[in-house]
Structure 1
Amino acid sequence: MRIAVIGGGPGGLYFAYLWKKRHPEDQVDLFEQNPADATWGFGVVFSDQALEFLRADDPETVDAIAPHMESWKNITLNLRGESVEIDGVGFSSIGRLALLTILQERVRSTGVTPRFDTVMQSVDELRGYDLIVAADGLNSLVRRAFEGDFGTSLSYSSNKFVWYGTSKRFDTLSQTFVKTDRGAFNAHHYRYSPGMSTFLVECDAATWAAYGFADKSIEESQAICEDVFAATLDGHRLVSNKSVWRNFPWVWNEHWSFKNMVLLGDALHSAHFSIGSGTRLAIEDAIALVKALETESGIGAALARYESARKPIVQKLVDAARTSAFWYEHFPEHMKLPLLDFAYSYITRSGRIDDFRLRAMSPAFMARYAAAKGQS
């Protein structure tokens, strides 16, 4: 079988690696429009659950990634100069470029040579392939060419965000909420290497307008964010990597394949960064697609199986991501709550965690919360 993989992000690389490793007789060509060492953003996170899922299918890849990861067991929330830790929420992080480099090496180990700096102008360039795997991100060429056939929908969250890095090292995945005289800001920050952290800044549309960010340069916006979060950064600077303000895009496709073309990762669906599952979803999509192709004898039947088996799982997580994003769209209102009520609202925001699960997962926080509420 001849397979073309479009997109050299985690999902595309992992599918190419996994398929070629299991089917060395097949031809797999991977095309990526950017250079091998180019990436947008800084670090990516995996929950402990996500890593265990990957380990069950491919322990060798987890073992290759794990030494380069930073890990922690708590989340820290900072509000009005006070902090609260929510225990038992395990995450690990790795630099996005470090992750891509590891996956590129694994792809090459199977005999596939990724074709970087290769821009596709049309799907017609891929004639002759038995299967086209579109892992080409939010602006997917394949999806845009057949939006009606894929049943694509696209909308945007109202909040604005900008993705920075910083040399400030944070002990845990943290959230810092700051109120200024012109509005409220939130920063999502976590270390992804011994000397670097992700620092994603978010605000609502009213705050963004009040600061006039639409007319500010990248450097001016960065300076404002450094000033707003001066206490959090503790003398460290923000680092930009094409760090511009944007609205989070919600991509969904009712149909996951068309003819011999199939979508995965951000080309197929997007999940808000507040639940840290975008990279996980792309890799899990790749695993599910490989399994479906190995189960069915025909490509059409395999792509149908991929959608029917995977779609309910993704839909559930995307629904939770939307609920989480809605909480963030109203975070200035939540900031008015007492600290522990605010933390409880935060950790239950997606609807996936109830009191029973929270008591088992975060006993120290729930004991503190119950004591504050006068509960036994």
Structure 2
Amino acid sequence: MRITCVGGGPAGLYFATLAKLADPGNEVTVLERNPAGVTWGWGVVFWDDLLDDLFTYDPVSAERIWDAAYKWDEYEVRATGKPTTHLAGYGFSLGRHRLLEILAERAVEAGVEISYSDELADLGDLPPSDLVVACDGARSRVREAHAEHFGAEVEIARNKYIWLGTPKVFDTFTFGFEETPAGWVWFHAYPFDEHTSTFIVECTPATWSALGFDELDAAAGTEKLRQIFASHLDGAELIDQRADLGGTGWLNFRRVTAQRWDHGNVVLMGDSAHTTHFAIGSGTKLAMQDAMALADAVASGDDLPVALERYEHRRKAALAPLQRAARASSNWFEHMPEYAHLPARRFSYALSNRRGEYATWRYLLHMATQSTVPRTVLRWTLSARRWSRARRRTDATNVTTGHAILPNTA
């Protein structure tokens, strides 16, 4: 089978690898517009469910991702005028650049051909293919070339946000809320290696305009944000990757929903088919799980139209609850100032419950905010759970590859 993936992000690279591993006779090519080693973005976050799936589908790349991932053990909530609170939980983060490096290396090892700096200015220049996978992002050119058929709907979220980086390494996943004369501004920050953290800033459009961000360039804008969040950054700078291009990274989130995912031999995957608000940190996870489902469908032996329809139905069913959670989460942040008056514990409760799910999570939050329950006990419990799951992955990998995985407890 001749397969062409348009887009060399996590979804495209991972699907290409799985398709090649499923049948070495497949001719799989990835077309990536950026040069090798060049990407936008800082770190991505993920949790056990994705890691478990990665170890099931390809233990080799999963082990490399596990080894490279930064592990954190709780959520910290800071807000002007309130004591700091801590929420039970743990997760993993990894620089996007490092993730793509791992996935590209694995794809090449499997026999995938990657063509970098390939703009594909004319879709008519696509190589002859039995299957074309459109994984070229939320503004997918392949999808837009058949816009009427795919029926993509784009909803623009209200809040302004910007995806920054900083050499300040936060101890764990941190939410910080600062009240300014123009209104509240907040950040989501998490470490993804020993030297760098992702730092996403968000605010309402009224606050954004009142603070002058609509008129400031990248350098002036990041300096203003550094001053606003000075108490959290310990003197570290904030970095806007778009500064060198003369622009700024401020955006409104684009919620993309495609009504149909396949058209002939073309199929959508990842952000080309759907986007999920960054406030629940599931974009990379969903893209890679799309890749797994599509690989299963293609390897099923069914006729391509049947396989692609099965893939679409499977993924839409899996996406539905997360899309509802993401919408509820982004709505909470759009109305964040309405919760600002709450005492610290109730504010943290509202933040943690913004998706309206998981009674167990609410119970852990209750425990985490009670002074009678030491945070060290909760962190030990969560770390033990993480270790247990790591050992199960190690056992599975030993059976499959003969290799051991040593948990990194950074």
Q: What's the TM-score bracket when you normalise by the shorter of the two chains?
A: over 0.9
Which residue in the other structure is 1:373 paired with?
A: none
- Residues of 1 paired with 2:341 and 2:230: CA distance? 22
The correspondence for 1:327, drawn from 332, 339, 345, is 332
Equivalent position amino acid for 2:84 in 1: S
Post-superposition Cα deviations, 1:207-253, rounded to whole Å, max 9, x if no partner, equal 01101211111111111100100000011111221151100110001
Matching residue of 1:364: 367
Amino acid corresponding to residue 368 of structure 2 in structure 1: F
Quote the residue 1:84 is aligned against: 85
Task: Tell me whether 1:192 sits opposite 2:196 in the alignment.
Answer: no
Q: 2:258·2:273 contact (CA, 8 Å) conserved in 1?
A: yes
Q: Which residue of 1 aligns with 2:351?
A: 346
Q: In structure 2, what is the equivalent of residue 281 of structure 1?
A: 286
Match of 1:304 in 2: 309
Residues 19 and 299, structure 2, Cα contact 8 Å, conserved in 1: no
Map 1:313-324 onto structure 2 (within 5 A): 313-324=318-329
Structure 1 equivalent of residue 169 of structure 2:
169
Residue 122 of structure 1 corresponds to 122
| Contact 1:19–1:290 (CA under 8 A) maintained in structure 2 | yes
- Indicate the SS of the match to 1:156: strand
The aligned residue for residue 99 of structure 1 is 99
Residue matched to 2:396: none
Aligned to 1:251, which of 256, 280, 293? 256
TM-score (ref. length: structure 2):
0.87
Displacement of 1:37: 1.4
Residue 6 of structure 2 is aligned to residue 3 of structure 1: no
Report the equivalent of 2:404.
none
Unaligned runs of 5+ residues in structure 1 are: 371-376
Report the residue type matching 1:336 in the other structure.
H
1:181 is the counterpart of 2:181: yes
1:141 CA drift (Å)? 1.0
Structure 2: state its 5+ residue gaps: 243-247, 374-410
Query: Cα RMSD over matched residues?
Result: 1.6
Q: Distance in 2 between matches of 1:113 and 1:183?
A: 50
Deviation by residue 1:129-151 (Cα, 9 ceiling, x = unmatched): 11000010111111111111111
- Alpha-carbon shift at residue 301 of structure 1 (Å): 0.5
Assess if the C-alpha contact under 8 Å between 2:4 and 2:127 holds in 1.
no
Contact preservation (8 Å) 1:71, 1:91: yes
1:26-175 equivalent positions in 2, closer than 5 A: 26-81=26-81, 82-87=83-88, 89-126=89-126, 128-175=128-175
Is the Cα–Cα contact under 8 Å of residues 161 and 203 in structure 1 kept in the other structure? yes
CA deviations 1:170-210 (Å, max 9, x no partner) are 11111000001111101110100001100111110010110
Pick closer, same or farther for the CA change 1:50–1:368 going to 2, 3 Å. Answer: farther
> Equivalent residue of 2:176, what SS?
strand
Count of paired positions: 367
**1:72: Cα distance to partner?**
1.3
For 2:265, the equivalent position in structure 1 comes to: 260
- Are 2:349 and 2:362, in contact at CA under 8 Å, matched by a contact in 1? no
- Give the superposition deviation at 1:366: 5.7
**Could you say if the C-alpha distance between residues 127 and 112 of structure 1 is closer, same or farther in structure 2, counting changes exceeding 3 Å?**
closer
SS at match of 2:299: helix
2:158 alignment partner, SS class: strand
Q: Distance between the aligned counterparts of 2:36 and 2:271, measured in 1?
A: 19
Instruction: For residue 127 of structure 1, report the CA deviation from its aligned partner.
Output: 5.6
Match of 1:54, SS state, is helix
Q: Deviations over 1:17-65 (max 9, x none)?
A: 1111221111111101111111111100011232223223322222111
Give, in whole Å, the separation in 1 of the partners of 2:90 and 2:26: 39
Name the structure 2 match of 1:337. 342
Worse-matched range after superposition: 240-249 or 272-281: 240-249
Q: Offset of 1:111 from its aligned partner?
A: 1.5
Aligned mates of 2:31, 2:212 — CA distance in 1: 39
Structure 1 counterpart of 2:102, one-letter code: I
Contact 1:340-1:369 within 8 A present in 2 as well: no
